[in-house]
Structure 1
Amino acid sequence: MGDRETLKAELKKVSAKAIQAKMDLHDLSEELPINWTSIMVVAQKAYDVYAELERKNRELKALENT
């Protein structure tokens, strides 16, 4: 598998993680004020996965432009 295909596969996995993180935030918001103490943990996880998703997208774009 080439670099581009590998990166696309990684991007697909990270995208699935991002969707799950978004749903976790949504679920948490609907349950508030229950579990309010987990806001920072859930938000940090979502932040991290979306940052990774953005990095992977930039890497793929750069690879495709070369």
Structure 2
Amino acid sequence: MSILLPVKHQQEGMSLDTFSRLSGVSVQQLQRYAKTGRIIGARKHPLTRKWWIYPPAKLLTGR
């Protein structure tokens, strides 16, 4: 089962902080989800090493 999260449809993606504000999930929780592979569309930026979310993003609930 998966939940589609609100994502602006843009090619360049958005930071985890911006995604957190739009989805209502804390940044720390999203970091845990990204590290464990529960967010489809999450990638770490190669230079800044910060997480970025690219569309279409899905949060996998696994329940």
Give the TM-score band, short-chain normalised: under 0.3
TM-score, normalised via structure 1 length = 0.21
Q: Looking at CA atoms only, which structure, 1 or 2, has the larger radius of gyration?
A: 1
**TM-score (ref. length: structure 2):** 0.21
* Structure (1 or 2) with the greater helix fraction: 1
